[in-house]
Structure 1
Amino acid sequence: MKVLVSGASIAGPALAYWLGRYGHEVTVVELAPALRKGGYAVDFRGTANKVVLERMGVLEDLRVLQTGGSAMRFVAEDDRLLMRLPPEFAGGELEVLRSDLSQVLYDHSRDKAEYVFGDSIASLTQHGGGVDVTFESGSEATFDLVLGADGLHSVVRRLAFGPEKDFVRHLGYYVAGWDLPNDFGIERDALMYNVPGRLASVGVDHRDARQAGAMFVFASPELTYDRRDPSQQKAILRSAFAGLGWKVPQLLDGLDDCTELYFDSISRVDVMRWSQGRVALVGDAGYGATLGGMGTGTAIVAAYVLAGELAATGGNHAAAFAAYESQLRKPVQACQAGGNRAGKFLAPKTRFGIAARNRLLGTPFLLNQMLRVGEKVSSDFVIRDYAATQDATAQGSSGSLLRNVSQESGNQPGTPSTAM
């Protein structure tokens, strides 16, 4: 089939890889003029992530690029230690920079798809024979399927499903991140400083100790600003953190020379159905949680499952979309719940809340309990092996030849053995 994928961050290149591998003609369109640089670290947890990354042939590449994770050291204004969380709390089993992950996925998929940068979808019209697409550049084409892998503010979702306000729920916080020189003497642990409703943090770039990364989180009602105007976003940050001590003034000064600023609300996406006719949503576009929702691993697995189901159903998109959603909706929603708590955890709104978090997580027993909860959520993903289906399709055979990852890894059939 001729398939258009919108978005070239994580889910888009992963889709391009699998769809191209199954023989589809794939075009990936991305608004940005090139792959985005900078950005925070992302992590993978559990068997499902590992298996899919292995099957894509990217796991070893990512291991070479892994950061090793960073401990989170919550400090007072004088840098006195208040509480420390170990690297595995935030870094999972494998942590890499988001830009590194995007580059690796692009490198492995670009021979299987055509990438078009600096353009976006302007309109979609579905009919019995496909989807007519007009691009912002003015070009037009018809595709059998259109897949929205274009994030929290998905253009595909807006055009095919409805306005963003119907699906994206603001969770009361904003998050920002940017790179700057490491003039702070940081060697390993990320430093985290709180006042009620605000978090300022800075950590070292593990590949280049001369570079650091700042992350700010702050409580706020939903704001109106231009998402394509970094100057507006920088002004919001300076206003939200004005008057704070610690290293905050120096970190804000780093915005002057920042060329890659990440700024967005902490929000959650909930779509009643992930597909409409010949259009489907993948990753954050359909079920995102800005922070803490295990969205990167979910996107990788979701791309694998959707492409696999299209192969298993012989290109019957209605059946494939239904199977894709049936398999993933429950575990995805469990992962999303972590996003509901992220802002409150990082930037409690009261001094009592900050002290209570530090006190409770400073207790090894409670910290271990939280880690176990994360492991339990990630173990709900059970995915199939679509390689047999691909082989059978190539041989002209009918029927679905599928087996669980749990069988592949030696566990009993039906035992949840995959995670996010």
Structure 2
Amino acid sequence: MRILISGGSVAGPALAYWLHRHGHAPTIVERAPVVRGGGAAIDFRGSALEVLERMGLLAEMRRHETGMTGMTLVDEAGEPLAELPADAISGDLEVLKSDVTAILYEATRDTTDYLFDDTITGLDQDGSGVHVTFERAGSRTFDLVIGADGMHSTVRRLAFGPESRYVRHLGIYGALFTTPNLFGLDRTGLMHNTAGRSALAFAARGNSELRVGLSFGADHLDYDRRDRRQQEKLVAEHFAGAGWEVPRLLEAMSEAEEFFFDSSGQVVMDSWSAGRVALVGDAAHCAAPTSGRGTSQALIGAYVLAGELAQAPDHATAFAAYEGRLRDYVERNQLHGRAAARWFLQPPTEPPVEVAEDVVALEDYTSG
């Protein structure tokens, strides 16, 4: 089948890899002009490592492991309050997101038709397929369309309705950016929490960089998702008067080449498919960054969706089986994400939310 995937981050390329393995012809459309860089470190847990192994990519991911040794919670004067061990913050394997996306792109570039600097503007499905209109590439018809385009999914909006029906805001906004290693950290991180605010910085790229996160609690904010200066202003306003090294980090934020800002939320849907259109990863069931499960869900979801499409008699049966296999797993992760969000912006007087076992039974779709 000819299958269009919207989104070239993690879920999209992972799905394209497996679709090609099962004999389909995948196309990925990605709004960014090139493979996306930047972002925080992301961790793989439980069954996601098994998916990477089956893709033949686990060894390559391990070669890019951050090697984080832990994170120290500090007070306003920078004095240690508590230590978070590496397995609490990094999962079973932690890799910078820019490295993950680059590895997945290299694994799929020769077997997937990539359409960069483009996006879907219209979907019209009937018995013969899905007729897709692109912003730049004109119109094409595909057998199926899969939204792997994140919490603010374009495919979900076009096929299921407005974002407001499905996204549940958790009361946290945050900025991520990259700076030189201002603190001289060595494979470790620092975190300063006060009521309603959290600042963290961890070493990356052989200790040459800091990846910085500044998060704050707020109700719904009205802002332009493409206006960086407006987003920086929101961060600066909510961190006004903050102690520790926050003023220094705010100054570095304005000079950072890589910058990302968004809310922390979850996607809750009664169904992840509608006709010939389905969703995977954060577009279907975002568990929130506080869950530490987003990348694992994306990899596992892509593996199961492609596998069910390979063995089911039709796409409707495959979509139902895909959701049936993963619904309980997703709901557990979302529960953890909500619990962790409540802890995230509190002073460090309580231990972090305990991490539940992150395992889902994976069928071997590649045999036979």
TM more than 0.5: yes
Q: Look up the SS of the partner of 1:256 in the other structure.
A: helix
Q: Which amino acid aligns with 1:73?
A: T
Contact 1:68 1:91 in 2 (8 A): no
Query: What residue in structure 1 maps to residue 8 of structure 2?
Result: 8
Looking at structure 2, the residues matched to 158 and 33 of structure 1 have their Cα atoms a distance apart, in angstroms, of 22
CA distance 1:112–1:94, shift in 2 (3 Å): same
8 Å CA contact retained: 2:67, 2:187: no
Indicate yes or no: 2:324 matched with 1:295. Answer: no
CA distance in 2, matches of 1:307, 1:102: 19
The AA in structure 2 aligned to 1:157 is R
Partner of 2:264: 266
How far residue 135 of structure 1 moved from its aligned partner, in angstroms, is 0.5
Distance in 2 between residues matched to 1:208 and 1:219, nearest whole Å: 32
Q: What is the rounded CA distance, in whole Å, between the counterparts of 2:131 and 2:93 in structure 1?
A: 40
Write the letter of the residue equivalent to 1:54: E
Q: Which residue of 1 aligns with 2:109?
A: 110
Please list every run of 5 or more consecutive structure 1 residues that lacks an aligned counterpart in the other structure: 349-353, 362-366, 392-420
Structure 2 CA distance for aligned equivalents of residues 290 and 202 of structure 1 = 19
In the TM superposition, residue 341 of structure 1 has moved relative to its aligned partner by 2.5
Q: Which residue of structure 2 lines up, in the alignment, with residue 223 of structure 1?
A: 221
CA distance in 2 between partners of 1:106 and 1:185 (Å): 32
- Name the structure 1 match of 2:232: 234
Q: Tell me the TM-score normalised to structure 1 length.
A: 0.85
Displacement of 1:264 in angstroms is 0.8
Matched, 1:340 2:338: yes
Q: Is the 8 A contact 2:188 2:202 kept in 1?
A: yes
Whole-angstrom distance in 2 between the partners of 1:74 and 1:131: 51
1:205-246: CA deviation from partner (whole Å, max 9, x where unpaired): 1x3322111111110011111112211111111111112121
Tell me, in whole angstroms, the C-alpha distance in 2 between the residues paired with 1:69 and 1:112.
34
Matched, 1:356 2:349: yes
Q: CA deviation at 1:260?
A: 1.8
TM, length-normalised to structure 2: 0.97
**Are 1:28 and 2:17 matched, yes or no?**
no
**Cα-Cα RMSD:** 1.3
Deviations 1:107-150, CA, capped at 9 Å, x for gaps: 10111110111000000001110000001115100000000000
Q: Does structure 2 conserve the Cα–Cα contact (< 8 Å) formed by 1:21 and 1:112?
A: no
Partner of residue 361, structure 2: 382
Counterpart for residue 150 of structure 1: 149
Q: What do residues 153-184 of structure 1 show as CA deviations (whole Å, max 9, x unaligned)?
A: 00000000000000001111112210001122
Aligned to 1:121: 120
Supply the AA of the counterpart residue of 1:271: M
Secondary structure (helix, strand or coil) at the match of 1:218 reads strand
Moved more, 26-35 or 255-264: 255-264
> What CA distance in whole angstroms lies between the structure 1 residues aligned with 2:99 and 2:137?
32
Closer, same or farther: CA 253–382 of 1 in aligned 2, 3 Å: same
Could you say which structure has the larger radius of gyration?
Answer: 1
In structure 2, stretches of 5+ residues that fail to align are none
Name the aligned partner's letter for residue 169 of structure 1. Answer: R
Alpha carbons 1:291, 1:342 under 8 Å: kept: no
Q: Which residue of 1 aligns with 2:140?
A: 141
Partner AA of 1:251 in structure 2: L
Contact 1:42 1:91 in 2 (8 A): yes
Q: How far apart are 1:84 and its partner, in Å?
A: 0.8
Give, in whole Å, the separation in 1 of the partners of 2:182 and 2:81. 23
Residue type at the aligned position of 1:77: E
Q: Quick one: distance in 1 between partners of 2:320 and 2:15?
A: 17
Residues 295-338 of structure 1: CA distance to partner in whole angstroms, max 9, x if unpaired? Answer: 10011011011111111114x10010010000001111101112
In structure 1, C-alpha distance between the alignment counterparts of 2:331 and 2:115, rounded to whole Å: 32
Counterpart of 1:309, as a letter, is: E
Provide the residue aligned with 2:318 in structure 1.
Answer: 320
Native 8 Å contact 1:4 1:29 kept in 2: yes
Matches within 5 A, 1:45-60: 45-46=45-46, 48-60=47-59
Contact 2:118 / 2:137 at 8 angstroms: preserved in 1? no
**For the Cα contact (< 8 Å) 2:173–2:261, is it kept in 1?**
yes
Aligned residues: 367
Given that 1:217 and 1:346 are in contact with CA atoms closer than 8 Å, whether structure 2 keeps it comes out as no
SS of structure 1 residue aligned to 2:83: strand
